[in-house]
C-alpha cells in the first residue's frame, strides 16, 4: 500500500478565507501552498483572450490541451500563476475573473482534465496545503487531514468587501452578499464535484474566530494527525 500523501486539504465556500489561511499555514509549518482555484481563474483569463465562451465546454477543453500552466512560490509565500512565460497572477484575481472561474469549473470535462494536474502535484509533494472546493472529496480523498472551512454568508461577504476596498474597489454590501449566495448556489449544485464536506473532514466554522485562532486550530489538528 502506498503511503498517504502529505497533504492538508482545506475545502469550503467562497469567502471562507481558504487562500489566506492556507498561505499563512504553509509559512507556519514550512509546507508548500497550492491554490487550486487559480487554475480555473487562469483558464477563464485565457478563454477571454482567445474568444472562447465560458459556456463552450468543448472549446474550454481544447484550451486545456494547449495550456502550459505552472506555479511559482514568491518570497511572501504567495503563488505566482504563469501560463507559458506570462505571469497572469494579477489578472486572475479581478472580480469578473472570479465569476468566470466558477463558470468554467462547472463543466465535467474541464474538471476531469484539471483534476489530473492537481492530483499529480499532490502525490509528488513532501508537504502540500491545497485549498479549494473538492480537495478532500475528489482531488486527494486519502489526505490525512481534511478540514471544511466555513462561515455565515454575511461574514464571508464582509470579508470580501474588505478585500475589494483594499484593492481600491467599492461595492454595496448587498451586492457582494448576493454574489456570495449566488456562488454558493452554483458551487453546491453543479454536476461535476459539487461543494460538500467530506465525510471524514473536520468542520471549522470561522465566523467568530480570529485569524490567529484559525491558524492555531489547524496547527493543532496537524499535530494530532502526526503530520508535524
According to DSSP, the residues that pair with 12 across neighbouring strands are: none
Residue 228 in domain: no
Identity of the highest mean pLDDT range in 40-54, 58-72, 104-118, 183-197: 40-54
Would you say residue 161 has pLDDT above 80? yes
What pLDDT, on the 0 to 100 scale, is given for residue 76? 67
Residue 2 in domain: no
The rounded distance, in Å, linking the Cα atoms of 149 and 206 is 7
The rounded distance, in Å, linking the Cα atoms of 11 and 18 is 7
Residue 52 in domain: yes
Instruction: Using pLDDT thresholds of 50, 70 and 90, give the confidence band for residue 138.
Output: very high
pTM: 0.82
Would you say residue 209 has pLDDT above 90? yes
24: left (phi over 0), alpha (psi -120 to 50) or beta: alpha
What pLDDT, on the 0 to 100 scale, is given for residue 77? 60
**How many CB atoms lie under 10 A from the CB of residue 225?**
15
Domain containing residue 43: CATH number: 3.40.50.300
**How many CB atoms lie under 10 A from the CB of residue 86?**
13
Would you say residue 120 has pLDDT above 90? no
Residue bearing the bigger pLDDT, 94 or 51: 51
Q: What is the arithmetic mean of pLDDT over 173-192?
A: 89
* CB-CB contact of 149 with 204 (8 Å): yes
Would you say residue 117 has pLDDT above 90? no
What pLDDT, in 10s, does the model give residues 39-66?
A: 899 999 999 999 999 999 999 999 988 8
Q: Which domain holds residue 43?
A: 7-223
Would you say residue 146 has pLDDT above 90? yes
Residue 14 in domain: yes
Output the 3-class SS for 131-192. Answer: EECCHHHHHCCCCCEEEEEECCHHHHHHHHHHHHHHCCCCCCHHHHHHHHHHHHHHHHHCCC
SS3 category, 54? coil
Residue 45 in domain: yes
- The residue among 31, 34, 27, 38 whose CA lies nearest residue 215 is 27
51: left (phi over 0), alpha (psi -120 to 50) or beta: left
**How many CB atoms lie under 10 A from the CB of residue 33?**
22
Q: What is the DSSP letter of 16?
A: S
What pLDDT, in 10s, does the model give residues 15-42?
A: 898 988 998 999 999 998 888 888 899 9
The share of the chain scoring above pLDDT 90, in percent, equals 50
Residue 1 in domain: no
SS3 category, 7? strand
Grid cell, residue 130, equals: 491545497
Instruction: Using pLDDT thresholds of 50, 70 and 90, give the confidence band for residue 1.
Output: low
Residue 164 in domain: yes
Number of domains in the chain: 1
Task: Give the DSSP per-residue string, 58-70.
Answer: HHHHHHHTT--EE
Q: What is the arithmetic mean of pLDDT over 70-94?
A: 79
Amino acid at each position: 500500500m502506498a503511503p498517504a500523501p502529505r497533504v492538508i486539504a482545506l475545502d469550503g465556500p467562497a469567502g471562507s478565507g481558504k487562500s489566506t489561511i492556507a498561505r499563512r499555514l504553509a509559512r507556519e509549518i514550512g509546507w508548500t501552498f497550492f491554490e487550486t482555484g487559480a487554475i480555473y481563474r487562469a483558464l477563464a483569463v485565457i478563454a477571454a483572450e482567445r474568444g472562447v465562451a465560458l459556456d463552450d465546454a468543448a472549446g474550454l477543453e481544447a484550451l486545456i490541451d494547449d495550456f502550459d500552466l505552472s506555479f511559482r512560490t514568491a518570497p511572501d509565500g504567495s503563488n505566482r500563476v504563469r501560463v507559458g512565460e506570462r505571469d497572469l497572477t494579477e489578472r486572475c484575481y479581478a472580480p469578473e475573473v472570479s465569476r468566470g472561474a466558477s463558470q468554467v469549473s462547472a463543466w465535467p470535462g474541464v474538471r476531469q482534465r484539471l483534476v489530473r494536474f492537481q492530483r499529480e502535484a499532490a502525490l509528488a509533494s513532501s508537504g502540500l496545503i491545497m485549498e479549494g472546493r473538492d480537495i478532500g472529496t475528489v482531488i486527494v480523498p486519502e489526505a490525512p487531514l481534511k478540514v471544511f472551512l466555513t462561515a455565515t454568508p454575511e461574514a464571508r461577504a464582509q470579508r470580501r468587501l474588505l478585500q475589494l476596498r483594499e484593492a481600491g474597489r467599492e461595492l454595496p454590501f448587498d451586492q457582494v452578499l448576493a454574489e456570495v449566495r449566488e456562488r454558493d448556489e452554483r458551487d453546491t449544485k453543479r454536476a461535476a464535484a459539487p461543494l460538500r464536506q467530506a465525510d471524514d473532514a473536520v468542520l471549522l466554522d470561522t465566523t467568530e474566530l480570529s485569524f490567529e485562532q484559525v491558524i492555531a486550530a489547524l496547527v493543532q489538528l496537524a499535530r494530532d494527525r502526526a503530520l508535524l
